[in-house]
Structure 1
Amino acid sequence: MNTTLRRLASVVMVMFLALMVSTTWIQFFHADELNTDSRNVRAIYAEYGRARGPIVVGGEAVALSKPVDDEFGYQREYTNGKLYSPLTGFFSLANGTSRIENTENDYLNGQADALWVDRLQNLLTGRDPEGSSVELTVDPKAQQAAWDALGDQRGAVVALDPETGAILALVSKPSFDPNDLASHSTKEAGEAYTELLNDDSKPLNSRATNWTYPPGSTFKLITTAAALESGDYEPDTVIDAPSTYTLTGTQTQVGNFAGTSCASAGEMSLADALRISCNTAYLGLAGELGADAMNEQSEKFGFGKPFSVPFRTDASRYDNDPGAMNTAQVELSGIGQGSVIATPLQVAMVSAAIANGGEVMQPYSVDTVRDPQLEVVRETSPTSVGRAVSEETANQLTDMMKSVVESGSGTAAQISGVEVAGKTGTAQWGDTSKTDPHVWFTGFAPADDPQVAVAVVVESGGDLGGQATGGSVSAPIAKAVMEAVLNG
């Protein structure tokens, strides 16, 4: 009898031990998996039942959580939602999170490892948990100026602090209102998201950071940089500038804007070629430099890799396989056509690097993270990505870009009492018989003490369509943004 009881007791003890071990294993090792499971209703209520931290621009919250009388407890609200959505993204019960709301989620919901002291204090005091505030680098005046100047045209504007890489403005149009996705009605939020996904203009995609365009003549800055860095060219070096240029190995002739001739003599200085944006001169120059030099120079400016700002951007590209490019393709790349594609952020980084003496800075949009007691728990330090060109080359490029704005194709970017350096661009795309070119401007100011670098792209010529140029449409937008930064 005792033997039977002992055996039964042993079996029961083993079963209890197995139950304890399995329960502990699930609760400890699978805790994160269970907490993040979309079917875990308790996790959803916990997430929405705490005060999510605000996203702050210029001391004002552009995203915040307000108490509401429903089962979730708090409602996410966005002030000027369309203006800031390319940065903030959305926080949605039905559709998840994006952009800053996604990358900074652990700080915003108060669960980041760096906030363990706050969580412990909340546990001991019974205080309701709160998220941290995320302060952006954006200048609200520059952001509003970019939004207003772009108007109803499709395109994007990016402004950077050349010395630090801080994003001062980032606008994309068409945009979307994240309030529509923040609804606690999963039906309404889901329908709003589906409508945005099906919109042909793709408003959920940021044209500033995740949309690539042919950069057109703004890429001549990189072609010029490659020439100057080679040691074979100076700004006053005379290069061929024929009325038309026949691409090597083809019968295709390429002309200049409006069929004009750059120089009656058929040649001109490199500086003048940039000033008036002479296509035929740059086609030949790129062919002389070759694909390797062009690709290497573009990579030094940041082409070929995405950036984290902190959300991930799309990579700009010189070519998928530079080694396989024929001479005609290389020639076209010299004017930012063919295989070359770039985001507006990348184009702004090119100007910013030139303004910064040749050094490329990592772009970023989050300045500071503060806990609920407003103590700093994280602060972004400017980081160099590398050197694109020597300081001497950067100075030469600056002088050449100043002439573009003083007396060349970019005069509409002039600011009274301020020297502006810039470059225009007009980029063909798609079936050129059916599409109007995208128009660009990029530059920085003041040229002698740069405070802001900017890039503007307006799709299909904007309001002017086929009559548009980068100088007539995009340069005034850039001017408005630079003035907003410089006037404080």
Structure 2
Amino acid sequence: MNTTLRRLANVVMVMFLALMVSTTWIQFFHADELNDDNRNVRKIWAQFGTDRGPIVVDGEAIAQSTPIDDQFGYQREYTDGRLYSPLTGYFSIVSGTSKIEDTENDFLSGSADALWMDRLRNTLTGRDPQGSSVELTIDAAAQRAAWDALGDQRGAVVAVEPSTGKILAMVSKPNYDPNDLATHDSKAANKAMEELASSDDRPLESRATATRYPPGSTFKLVTAAAALESGDYDESTSLDAPDRYTPPGTDRSIGNYGGTSCSSTGEMSLADALRISCNTAFAELGVDLGNEALYDQASAFGFNAPFEVPFETTPSAFPPPDDEGWADAFVAQAAIGQWNVAATPLQVAMTSAAIANDGELMAPYSVETVRDPELEVVEKTSPRKLEDSVSSETANQLTDMMVGVVEDGSGTSAQIPGVTVAGKTGTAQHGEGLPPHVWFTGFAPAEDPKVAVAVVVESGGSVGTSEATGGAVAAPIARAVIEAVLNG
């Protein structure tokens, strides 16, 4: 009997030991993982009882927590919620956090390691904890200009400062109001999230940083850069420019926009081909360069890797050279921004920004400064170079060519009196019988760039026909944003 009891006691002890070890392991080693999980409602509930720091644009809070008489104590509120939602994201009791509210949560909630002195001071003085303010790089005037100019059209606008990578504007439509998700009424918050998540409009998806589109002729900047970087071409090099081009190995030909002819002689310079956006010239140029050269140049501009701004963005895509399925026909399509090439508006803006910045691609960022409750600087973002996308000489040639696009080419609607604007239009097919997505990207002033911008308008925007072009639809939006930055 004693032997049996001893065995049973040993089994029970082992079970208790296993339970203690597993509980300790979960609570100690997985504590951070569990705390950071957006499904951890207890954490969100606790944070709703904290004076969460504001998110600030040009000295004004666009997200802040205000005292409220309920079980939480504070209500998160968003000023112009729809305008800034692609950046702020949401802070929700049922859905957790996203975008800036997520990546800067430790500072906003006051729990960051860098704020330990503030927490100690609060403990000693008995003062309620308070989060830090997060100041964004956004130019309020440029943000508003982008919003107003895009109007009721679907698409996105991104503007950056070429020399630093600061994001000056980021607009996406359709979008959502984060106030609907910040409500303390969990039933209402759940319903709002369900409606947003199930909507065919995809309002929760930032078209500026998460949606990838065929870049169309804006990708000709990459193809032109690859040609110039090879050393075999300059802006005056003559290219074949037939009315139609049939790549080797296929009987399917490529034509120019609207079936037009690029040149009466069948030839034109690289600069003129970019100026009028000649498809056949760039398709044949892409085949001559090869998919490896195009891939390397696209990657040098940031394709195939995510940007962190600080939230991670969807990487733009150019298929690697060893992918199955590459053929000259596909190289020709890729060279004009079609086939499997896909880019976010942020990526297209960064391509222009690198050209504007003498070929240097800077890391884009949206958080300028973090300040503690005493307004002391806790963290400040320093500009950081990612890589040399092209040489300074190539960047200068591309700039001259892009100026030609706006002065006397497909992008004349981006002209600004007294300002030299460099740009490139794009018209991207994305489905049989569907109006094209239309693009414009560029920078200004060309001789001393202060802002680079990319605009995409889905399915022709308000024009909504197969005749919609980047020059007619997207360029005026870019012009409005550029003017707002330069006049600020």
Work out the CA distance in 1 between the residues paired with 2:33 and 2:427. Answer: 50
Q: Show CA shifts across 1:3-44 (max 9, x none).
A: xxxxxxxxxxx9xxx9xx989888766654675678977644
Work out the CA distance in 1 between the residues paired with 2:339 and 2:449. Answer: 32
Equivalent residue for 1:136? 136
Alignment-mate amino acid for residue 343 of structure 1: T
Equivalent residue for 2:4? none
Deviation at 1:248, TM superposition (A): 2.2
Deviation at 1:138, TM superposition (A): 0.3
Q: Show CA shifts across 1:198-247 (max 9, x none).
A: 11010100000000000000000000000000000011010100011113
Change (3 A) 1:460 1:28: closer
Deviation at 1:277, TM superposition (A): 0.4
Q: Residues 387-466 of structure 1 correspond to what in structure 2 (within 5 A)? A: 387-430=388-431, 432-433=432-433, 435-466=434-465
Equivalent residue for 1:306? 306
Q: Does 1:479 align with 2:479?
A: yes
* DSSP-derived class of the 2:277 partner: coil
Equivalent residue for 1:284? 284
Alignment-mate amino acid for residue 362 of structure 1: A
Alignment-mate amino acid for residue 413 of structure 1: A
Work out the CA distance in 1 between the residues paired with 2:245 and 2:33. Answer: 62
Work out the CA distance in 1 between the residues paired with 2:194 and 2:180. Answer: 11
Alignment-mate amino acid for residue 422 of structure 1: G
Deviation at 1:128, TM superposition (A): 0.3
Identity of aligned residues (%): 67
Q: Show CA shifts across 1:135-158 (max 9, x none).
A: 000000000000000000000000
Deviation at 1:46, TM superposition (A): 2.6
How high is the TM-score relative to the length of structure 2? 0.93
* DSSP-derived class of the 1:311 partner: coil
Alignment-mate amino acid for residue 437 of structure 2: H
Change (3 A) 1:197 1:286: same
Alignment-mate amino acid for residue 448 of structure 1: E
Moved over 2 A (4+): 21-46, 320-324
Deviation at 1:45, TM superposition (A): 4.0
Contact 1:310 1:364 in 2 (8 A): yes
Q: Residues 213-224 of structure 1 correspond to what in structure 2 (within 5 A)? A: 213-224=213-224
Work out the CA distance in 2 between the residues paired with 1:157 and 1:174. Answer: 12
Contact 1:132 1:371 in 2 (8 A): yes
Equivalent residue for 2:384? 383
Change (3 A) 1:348 1:27: closer
Contact 2:314 2:344 in 1 (8 A): yes
* DSSP-derived class of the 1:464 partner: coil
Work out the CA distance in 2 between the residues paired with 1:472 and 1:29. Answer: 58
Contact 2:53 2:109 in 1 (8 A): yes
Work out the CA distance in 2 between the residues paired with 1:239 and 1:379. Answer: 48
Work out the CA distance in 1 between the residues paired with 2:34 and 2:331. Answer: 53
Equivalent residue for 1:359? 360
* DSSP-derived class of the 1:463 partner: coil
Work out the CA distance in 2 between the residues paired with 1:357 and 1:45. Answer: 49
* DSSP-derived class of the 1:181 partner: helix
Change (3 A) 1:267 1:103: same
Work out the CA distance in 1 between the residues paired with 2:476 and 2:41. Answer: 51
Contact 1:295 1:322 in 2 (8 A): no
Q: Show CA shifts across 1:362-398 (max 9, x none).
A: 0000000000000000000000010010000000000
Work out the CA distance in 2 between the residues paired with 1:45 and 1:274. Answer: 55
Change (3 A) 1:429 1:77: same
Q: Show CA shifts across 1:85-140 (max 9, x none).
A: 00000000011000000000000000000000000000111000000000000000
Q: Show CA shifts across 1:430-449 (max 9, x none).
A: 2x22x110000000000000
Work out the CA distance in 2 between the residues paired with 1:265 and 1:42. Answer: 72
Q: Residues 4-403 of structure 1 correspond to what in structure 2 (within 5 A)? A: 32=32, 43-324=43-324, 325-403=326-404
Contact 1:158 1:454 in 2 (8 A): yes
Deviation at 1:307, TM superposition (A): 1.0
RMSD: 2.1
Contact 1:45 1:71 in 2 (8 A): no
Q: After alignment, is 253-262 or 123-132 more displaced?
A: 253-262
Work out the CA distance in 1 between the residues paired with 2:226 and 2:424. Answer: 16
Change (3 A) 1:103 1:483: same
